[in-house]
Structure 1
Amino acid sequence: MRPRSRLDLGSVWAQRLRQLEQRLRTKEERIVVLETENAALHLKLAEYQGLAGRSTNEVLQLYSAHGQQQKLQRSSVVTQLHGAIKRLKQDLKSLHSFALELSKDFQRQSKTYLHRVLTAVQGVQLQNEAMQMFQIKAFDLEQTLQEVTERYEKEKQKRRALHNSLVELRGNIRVHCRIRPLLPLDTAAGHSVSQDRQRNLPEKVTYAADDETVLVKCSRPGHASINKTFQFERVYNASESQEVVFADVAPLLTSLLDGYNVCIMAYGQTGSGKTYTMLGPQLEENTAYCTENESELGIIPRATQEVFRLISEKPPGSYWVEVSVVEVYNNEIFDLLAKDSCGKVFGVKRDVVTTKEGKRDVPLLVYETVENTSEFLHLVNKGLQLRVRHPTLVHAHSSRSHLVVTLTITTVVSGDNFSMSWEDEQTSQRLNKEVSWTFPQKMRDNTSTSSSRASSPTHLEATEKIKQVKTSLQLVDLAGSECVGMSGVTGAALRETSFINRSLSALADVLGAIAEQRTHVPYRNSKLTHLLQDSIGGDAKLLVMLCISPGQKYLTESMQSLGFGTRARQVQRGQVKKKNFPLPSKAK
């Protein structure tokens, strides 16, 4: 092994030596090339130095000759300069005389223009004085106009208040009309409104002429346009908000706690904005109640907020509120708060009957006690999830039933005009508190019925001097009337449309019978009119909110709705009855 390793090292060193020798030869060859180039450069340098010496001599010779030439040129230049100076002096004299003439002319023109400016300034001052006088007059006119406008608004409010009082004395139905804005669904193919205008598609034909007048432009091909007007207690244009609409509804809620029943009903064709007006967009789409955009809330949530606000100003424990939610679908009444044995909410069919006292009642209807707006909206939202909705060509979320939400307010009051000692008054307050808290708890624990809301037998003797006065607020979102040809419904949806139109026709027949003071009013022709008989027949302050679509293609349906509102406004039912609240008189 050792001799072989020595042999290997020797070959490696020999190879390394050969490489070094090769590199040495390469360097030596490079040195020879560089030396050759250096010698060539030295030769060129010597050659350039010789040329530079000869060039210097030539330059010196040229410079001397150029100096003589420059002297000659300088003398000629000086001569030329003297001549130019003479000419410039002559030109300067000419310019000086011209400048004097210009100065004199400028002074003359300046005087002329100064006179004109002074005249113009005087004219401007006169105009400013006149403008100030006009501004003073305009300010006075604006103040006068503002005062007249304020007086007009006050007089209009007084006139409206007097008109509402007259309406109440006559028992008339209040009719408000709301015209919604143009929407994409108003077009034949779902294009935007601007595209419709560009394509000359039907335009808006129904307007709010003022806050009490609706203007409709009726036109047919080949005929002149005819303007028709309709008068109502209040008319809302497309730009007026939910808050403005509710502001005219709120006074009715005050009378609710004064002992009057109240009914607010939205009427109109499919897609005219009834559900939006009554519920708002949050509840309209069956989503959970959200307070992020309270400006969009409809009449139902706003009315509940107002009711609980009014109750909060009353003595605690003297009021409680119950709510029921029903729908009238295919001429059948369904309880949307009924629960099965597992506690799941589902619609249960109910019926409406007439009690011995001549009032309408729905046996076994569920009444849930609520203590605030959130609880109420939670229950309403549950009911809305069961409400029947089907898409049509007119509306993608068309309601196929009439929705009736009822708030029943129970007021605990003392007996008729009896005297009480101090001890009796304390006992009455204690019993009053027991009644106000015992009944709501029973209704939360058990499914409430008409009979379950009666006084407890154990407290019957103790509460002989305690009375309960009930008033109700009915909030009705009617299903929309629609033309079968326009909605494009078939099958089961066609049957629904038939029932909807039939029930709305029955409602119109009832109002017509009351207006004509017929001896027989056909309330039983429809479950809807039978259920609302007490409200329609004069036991409640009734407000009908007409909802109108402004487009040309809905003109027939809009005219039908406006005609319905006009007939409803002419109904005189007599003064609405008020529930009596007996107040105790203290013994002195």
Structure 2
Amino acid sequence: MIGTKKSPGLIYNILKDLLADLEIDISYLEIYNEKIYDLLEPKQLFLRERENTVFVPDLFNKKITNYSEFIDVFEKGNLNRRTGETKLNKFSSRSHSILRLMNKNTKFYLVDLAGSENNRKTGNTGIRLTESNNINKSLFVLGNVVNSILRNDIRIPYRDSKLTRLLQDSIGGNSLCYVIANIIDDVNYLDETLNTLKFACKSRKIVNVPRTETININQKFDNSNKNKNESHNKNINKIMLDNYNNKNVTKLKFNEKNINKINVTDKNILTDKTNTPKKQN
């Protein structure tokens, strides 16, 4: 995803193309030991959920207007990302990272997943072992989510990991999603390669249904009229109740003037939608 200075990765190439035509707001976070941290303004963050939407309040947003500015901000963020040395990798990522790009109402996520680790090969102990276990757990949950979607399970275990909760819309949701699986042509890593390919094969079977959110003007108009009618009906009921509570029940009568006035308003609402201005000759 990141690549090297001589051979920039996917993130750099995508942003170079996008920033040639657009201004973009970016946010950058990492998931480390099942905790979320802001990489642009280092601090711990927490997930929240509202109306079935998962979000991260207080996540720092930075407006980017050109590619040079992006490189500066992104590389400063990478300095805050957790890395550590193992027997297999001197600069091993110890966290998953998510770079969020926003332009108006469009969101675009670039996710860099830490690789699953075989602790017998990495020789992890202490804090490295804890990190490795959390990485493997979140990737295991990601695999379970994919399997559950393919089985059409009623309950999809998104909540079992911070990673899958953040990616809920991307995995089987209302988004376009691309998965890039990285493998190595080395027989010493045959098990890891096979597991990665199995995950990729399962992921490609998931069918997302991306759709554009639109506002139905007619429905909005109908809902507005419905609210007005409900208000008028409450007024009618109040008039009737006030008269009913009159001590002299034999003199019960409706305030016809007010009721007629409300009924006229109701008729106007019902005809608003069908009346159109006549063309002038």
TM-score by length of 2: 0.74
> Against the structure 1 CA distance between its residues 537 and 353, is the aligned structure 2 distance closer, same or farther, given a 3 Å change threshold?
farther
Please give the alpha-carbon distance, in whole angstroms, between the structure 2 residues aligned to 1:571 and 1:306: 28
Q: Which residue of 2 aligns with 1:404?
A: 98
Q: Which residue of 2 aligns with 1:84?
A: none
Equivalent in 130, 140, 144 of residue 495 of structure 1: 130
Contact 2:172–2:207 under 8 Å retained in 1: no
Are positions 1:577 and 2:211 aligned together? Answer: yes
The gaps in structure 1 that reach 5 residues or longer are 1-277, 283-292, 312-319, 339-346, 411-469, 583-588
Give the alignment of 1:110-259 within 5 angstroms: none
Q: Which residue of 1 aligns with 2:34?
A: 331
Are positions 1:516 and 2:151 aligned together? Answer: yes
Question: How far does residue 310 in structure 1 lie from its aligned partner after superposition?
Answer: 4.0
Please give the alpha-carbon distance, in whole angstroms, between the structure 2 residues aligned to 1:539 and 1:571: 12
Q: Pick the structure with greater CA Rg.
A: 1
The gaps in structure 2 that reach 5 residues or longer are 217-281
Question: How far does residue 572 in structure 1 lie from its aligned partner after superposition?
Answer: 2.4
Letter in structure 2 aligned against 1:578 = T
Equivalent in 15, 24, 30 of residue 304 of structure 1: 15
Q: Which residue of 2 aligns with 1:116?
A: none
Equivalent in 374, 389, 393 of residue 87 of structure 2: 393
Higher relative contact order (CA 8 A, sep 6+): 1
Q: Which residue of 2 aligns with 1:526?
A: 161
Please give the alpha-carbon distance, in whole angstroms, between the structure 1 residues aligned to 2:214 and 2:152: 27
Q: In the TM superposition, what whole-angstrom CA distance separates every residue of 1:1-51 from its partner, at most 9, and x where no partner exists?
A: xxxxxxxxxxxxxxxxxxxxxxxxxxxxxxxxxxxxxxxxxxxxxxxxxxx
Letter in structure 1 aligned against 2:207 = Q
Please give the alpha-carbon distance, in whole angstroms, between the structure 1 residues aligned to 2:205 and 2:169: 18
The aligned length equals: 216
Question: How far does residue 540 in structure 1 lie from its aligned partner after superposition?
Answer: 1.5
Letter in structure 1 aligned against 2:101 = L
Please give the alpha-carbon distance, in whole angstroms, between the structure 2 residues aligned to 1:308 and 1:387: 24
Q: In the TM superposition, what whole-angstrom CA distance separates every residue of 1:523-560 from its partner, at most 9, and x where no partner exists?
A: 11000111111122322211100000110110011000
Q: In the TM superposition, what whole-angstrom CA distance separates every residue of 1:219-276 from its partner, at most 9, and x where no partner exists?
A: xxxxxxxxxxxxxxxxxxxxxxxxxxxxxxxxxxxxxxxxxxxxxxxxxxxxxxxxxx
Q: Secondary structure at the match of 2:182?
A: strand
Q: Secondary structure at the match of 2:156?
A: coil
Please give the alpha-carbon distance, in whole angstroms, between the structure 2 residues aligned to 1:564 and 1:281: 26
Letter in structure 2 aligned against 1:526 = S
Question: How far does residue 578 in structure 1 lie from its aligned partner after superposition?
Answer: 2.1
Question: How far does residue 581 in structure 1 lie from its aligned partner after superposition?
Answer: 9.4
Please give the alpha-carbon distance, in whole angstroms, between the structure 2 residues aligned to 1:336 and 1:375: 16
Are positions 1:354 and 2:65 aligned together? Answer: no
Letter in structure 2 aligned against 1:300 = I
Please give the alpha-carbon distance, in whole angstroms, between the structure 2 residues aligned to 1:504 and 1:330: 12
Please give the alpha-carbon distance, in whole angstroms, between the structure 1 residues aligned to 2:82 and 2:90: 13
Equivalent in 124, 128, 141 of residue 506 of structure 1: 141
Question: How far does residue 336 in structure 1 lie from its aligned partner after superposition?
Answer: 0.8
Q: Secondary structure at the match of 2:180?
A: strand
Contact 1:331–1:526 under 8 Å retained in 2: yes
Please give the alpha-carbon distance, in whole angstroms, between the structure 2 residues aligned to 1:581 and 1:535: 22
Q: Secondary structure at the match of 1:349?
A: strand
Please give the alpha-carbon distance, in whole angstroms, between the structure 2 residues aligned to 1:526 and 1:475: 18
Q: Secondary structure at the match of 2:203?
A: helix
Question: How far does residue 281 in structure 1 lie from its aligned partner after superposition?
Answer: 1.0
Q: Which residue of 2 aligns with 1:535?
A: 170
Q: Secondary structure at the match of 1:543?
A: coil
Please give the alpha-carbon distance, in whole angstroms, between the structure 1 residues aligned to 2:54 and 2:66: 27
Contact 2:20–2:66 under 8 Å retained in 1: no
Q: Secondary structure at the match of 2:27?
A: strand
Q: Which residue of 1 aligns with 2:232?
A: none
Question: How far does residue 513 in structure 1 lie from its aligned partner after superposition?
Answer: 1.0
Q: Secondary structure at the match of 1:517?
A: coil
Question: How far does residue 388 in structure 1 lie from its aligned partner after superposition?
Answer: 0.6
Alignment root-mean-square deviation, CA: 1.5
Equivalent in 364, 389, 406 of residue 58 of structure 2: 364
Letter in structure 2 aligned against 1:397 = F
Q: Higher helix proportion, which one?
A: 1
Q: Which residue of 1 aligns with 2:3?
A: 280
Q: In the TM superposition, what whole-angstrom CA distance separates every residue of 1:288-347 from its partner, at most 9, and x where no partner exists?
A: xxxxx4xx1111011111112343xxxxxxxx4100000000000101111xxxxxxxx2
Letter in structure 2 aligned against 1:374 = S
Letter in structure 1 aligned against 2:44 = K
> Against the structure 1 CA distance between its residues 477 and 581, is the aligned structure 2 distance closer, same or farther, given a 3 Å change threshold?
farther
Contact 1:515–1:572 under 8 Å retained in 2: no
Contact 1:514–1:572 under 8 Å retained in 2: no
Give the alignment of 1:475-494 within 5 angstroms: 475-494=110-129
Q: Secondary structure at the match of 1:535?
A: coil
Please give the alpha-carbon distance, in whole angstroms, between the structure 1 residues aligned to 2:32 and 2:38: 11
> Against the structure 1 CA distance between its residues 581 and 477, is the aligned structure 2 distance closer, same or farther, given a 3 Å change threshold?
farther
Contact 1:360–1:534 under 8 Å retained in 2: no
Please give the alpha-carbon distance, in whole angstroms, between the structure 2 residues aligned to 1:513 and 1:306: 36
Q: Secondary structure at the match of 1:394?
A: coil
Please give the alpha-carbon distance, in whole angstroms, between the structure 2 residues aligned to 1:556 and 1:566: 15
TM-score by length of 1: 0.36
Letter in structure 2 aligned against 1:322 = D
Q: Which residue of 2 aligns with 1:383?
A: 77
Q: Secondary structure at the match of 1:547?
A: coil
Are positions 1:322 and 2:25 aligned together? Answer: yes
State the identity as a percent: 34
Letter in structure 1 aligned against 2:10 = I
